[in-house]
Amino acid sequence: MKLNKAYLYKVHLPLVSPFRTSYGILHQKSFYLIGLEDELGNIGYGELEAFPLPDYTEETLEGAKQVVTDFLLEELSGKEIEQPEQVSQIFAWIRGNEMAKASVESACYDLFAKRQKTSLAHFIGAKKKEISVGVSIGIQKNKRSLVEKVRSYVSAGYGRVKVKIQPGADFSYLKAVRDEFPELPLLADANSAYKEEDLNDLLRLDQLNITMIEQPFGVRDLWLHAELQKRLERMAVCLDENIRSLEDVKQAFTFGSCRAINLKMARVGGLQEALQIAEFCKQRKIIVWCGGMLEAGVGRAYNVALAARNEFQFPGDISATDRYFEQDIIKQNFELINGKIHVPEGMGIGVEIDEQALSRFAESFETILLD
Ligand code: OSB
Ligand code: MG
């Protein structure tokens, strides 16, 4: 396969409600939609997930876009690509920049699946026809709003809820939810908001029958996470921001820093790396589940296909389209049916771009010729 052209759309999609984490508030999902055209005229799509601010990881949307155009597309230009696994190899000399790499690498997977006239899910060996999913709830202004928010998602059919926490909005907030929903599978995500002196506060959460505590400490820390995991009786420590590669997972496993991994294809540099991590986790009996970053339709399609593989037994942060957006840029909506989302069966990612919606939400558009 050879790439002829790249299309880049900068898009802003308003969120149905603002999403607050320990590091900030998002009112819209901003991303680049990247289309790669091959010599046969097929188009593979990728979503560049880097956030406008370097707060979740170091990448920024504009910086990552520059890495895509100046280095990644440049590297693929004029090359014969025989299989999608080659792409991450070609990019290997470029350090970090995982989200930039993932946007281009995943689009190549979409192209290869489309060239074979098969679905991406089938192409990557995913067998499930539908996947169990949960929902991630941002920090609310008080306990009552949180309980009501949880109630609305539970009645919509979500059977597993993740609640964002930070110091001052943790134990009592989670207890309010637990008192109201005694059996609900519940996770807490701190997005790195805690420090060593908070260790005892986090140990208290173990009383609330919480399945996992996600990324409480620093994004490069393995030691404190290991200390916490050692002292917890029931709750699993789950790493998110810490994990950028298979190597990171191996180190976390070796140090006993976690019993679970929130795997995001975009955060680990692409599908190839994500598939290897999933396989490693299965072998070592680490719980692996598919996280999210408020993806729009294209990014969501990748998460759904990945989560359809058998390594993923725990419900992911992959909610229905209407939990995020009133209008997405794809023609199909992902819908929640009995707590599950159907895996697209069409060719490649199995979703089509809604050109009208795209032109409504796109701020800019450019075409780059590759040869
Ligand atoms: O920490 O998992 C996270 C969204 C943006 C950035 C980081 C995270 C999240 C979520 C939302 O928790 C998951 C989703 O897409 O529903
Ligand atoms: Mg997280």
pLDDT in tens, 276-334: 999 999 999 999 999 999 999 999 999 999 999 999 999 999 999 999 999 999 999 99
Which residue is closest in CA terms to ligand 1's atom 7? 293
Q: What's the N-to-C CA distance of the chain in angstroms? A: 12
Cα dist from 252 to 134, 154, 183, 258, whole Å: 25, 33, 30, 6
- 3-117+351-369 CATH: 3.30.390.10
pTM of the model: 0.98
Which residue is closest in CA terms to ligand 1's atom 13? 292
Please state which CATH class domain 122-342 belongs to: alpha beta
> pLDDT per residue over 187-234, tens digit each?
999 999 999 999 999 999 999 999 999 999 999 999 999 999 999 999
136 pocket-lining for ligand 1 (C-beta < 6 Å): yes
Buried b (16+ CB within 10 A) or exposed e, 95-113: eebbbbbbbbbbbbbbbbb
Residue whose CB lies within 8 A of the most ligand 1 atoms, among 21, 192, 322, for a mutation test: 21
Break the chain into its structural domains and give their ranges: 3-117+351-369, 122-342
What is the mean pLDDT of the segment spanning 95-104?
Answer: 98
User: pLDDT band at residue 179, thresholds of 50, 70 and 90?
Assistant: very high
Q: Is 354 exposed, middle or buried (0-12, 13-18, 19+ CB in 10 A)?
A: middle
CA of 54 to the centre of ligand 2 (A): 15
Residue whose CB lies within 8 A of the most ligand 1 atoms, among 19, 29, 187, 294, for a mutation test: 294
User: pLDDT band at residue 144, thresholds of 50, 70 and 90?
Assistant: very high
What is the mean pLDDT of the segment spanning 330-357?
Answer: 97
- CA dist., res. 205 & res. 200, Å (int): 9
Which of the pair, 23 or 87, is modelled with greater confidence? 87
The tokens 């989670």 sit on which residue?
A: 174
What is the mean pLDDT of the segment spanning 150-172?
Answer: 97
User: pLDDT band at residue 59, thresholds of 50, 70 and 90?
Assistant: very high
Ligand nearest to the CA of 325: 1
CA of 76 to the centre of ligand 1 (A): 30
- 3-117+351-369 and 122-342, same CATH topology: no
How many residues in the chain?
A: 371
Q: Is the pLDDT of residue 371 over 90?
A: no
Kind of pairing between the strands at 130-132 and 340-342:
antiparallel
Atom of ligand 1 nearest to the CA of 324: 16
The tokens 């009592």 sit on which residue?
A: 172
The set of catalytic residues is 164, 264
| Beta bridge mates, 304 | none
Closest CA to 285 of 246, 267, 305, 258: 258
